């Protein structure tokens, strides 16, 4: 297993991934899980399991607000007994309560990329309900504008992902966490 990062797996805090659709949170979460051996908890996966249907169907059947309520409820109940890799949906920062809960859970890592890269990645797959519109590019641009300051306010660490692989992002995160935790000691 490739691992050149020295972040201490026994450190007390979880790694929380935030960022826009297309930032690579799920894939990077899997890389981090493989590299660290930590459990991976994905809020979208937990909500989908609770509703027993994919996210797009939850939006279609119950509406976005019900999804957001479920998302917050998952965070309230999420208290891993060990540090974990926590993967979130792109809209998690919309509620102040969510951000407070994420900050309690661990070190919040914002995966950044330029808008064109994010949109290109996000639009590659058709499971994202917010992009099922006539003009997904405009909707994406608006979400990007509205959310940037929210991600920035929530983040402890930012990682630029546009030109590196998911595994390199994971490696960079572990190196930065090492720096971050030594700065805080």
Which positions touch ligand S3P (CB under 6 A)? 21, 25-26, 44, 55, 89-91, 128-130
CB of 107 to ligand S3P, least distance (A): 19
CB of 182 to ligand S3P, least distance (A): 30
Measured from the CB atom, is 25 or 40 closer to ligand S3P? 25
Measured from the CB atom, is 77 or 124 closer to ligand S3P? 124
CB of 80 to ligand S3P, least distance (A): 19
Measured from the CB atom, is 98 or 107 closer to ligand S3P? 98
Q: How far is CA 40 from the centre of its chain?
A: 11
CB of 26 to ligand S3P, least distance (A): 6
CB of 94 to ligand S3P, least distance (A): 7
Taking the C-alpha atoms of residue 33 and residue 46, their distance in angstroms, rounded to an integer, is 17
Measured from the CB atom, is 40 or 128 closer to ligand S3P? 128
Measured from the CB atom, is 130 or 157 closer to ligand S3P? 130
Measured from the CB atom, is 31 or 55 closer to ligand S3P? 55
CB of 10 to ligand S3P, least distance (A): 28
Judge contact between 164 and 173, C-beta under 8 A: no
Residue whose beta carbon is closest to ligand S3P: 89
DSSP of the chain:
--------TTSS-EEEEE--TTS-HHHHHHHHHHHH--EEEEHHHHHHHHHTS-HHHHHHHH-HHHHHHHHHHHHHH---SS-EEEE--TTGGGSHHHHHHHHHHEEEEEEE--HHHHHHHHHTSS--GGG-SS-HHHHHHHHHHHHHHHHHHH-SEEEE-TTS-HHHHHHHHHHHHHHHHHHH-
């Amino acid at each position: 297993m490739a691992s050149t990062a020295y972040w201490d797996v026994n450190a007390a805090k979880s790694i929380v991934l935030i960022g826009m659709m297309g930032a690579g949170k799920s894939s990077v979460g899997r890389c981090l899980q493989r590299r660290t051996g930590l459990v991976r908890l994905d809020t979208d996966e937990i909500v989908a399991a609770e509703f027993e249907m994919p996210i797009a169907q939850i939006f279609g059947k119950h509406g976005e607000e019900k999804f957001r309520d479920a998302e917050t409820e998952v965070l309230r109940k999420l208290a891993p007994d060990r540090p974990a890799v926590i993967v979130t949906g792109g809209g998690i920062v919309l509620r102040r309560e969510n951000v407070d809960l994420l900050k309690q859970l661990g070190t919040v890592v914002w995966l950044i990329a330029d808008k064109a890269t994010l949109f290109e990645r996000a639009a590659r797959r058709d499971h994202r309900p917010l992009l099922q519109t006539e003009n997904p590019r405009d909707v994406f641009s608006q979400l990007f504008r509205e959310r940037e300051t929210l991600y920035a306010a929530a983040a402890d660490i930012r990682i630029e992902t546009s030109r590196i692989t998911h595994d390199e992002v994971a490696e960079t995160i572990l190196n930065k966490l090492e720096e971050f935790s030594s700065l805080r000691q």
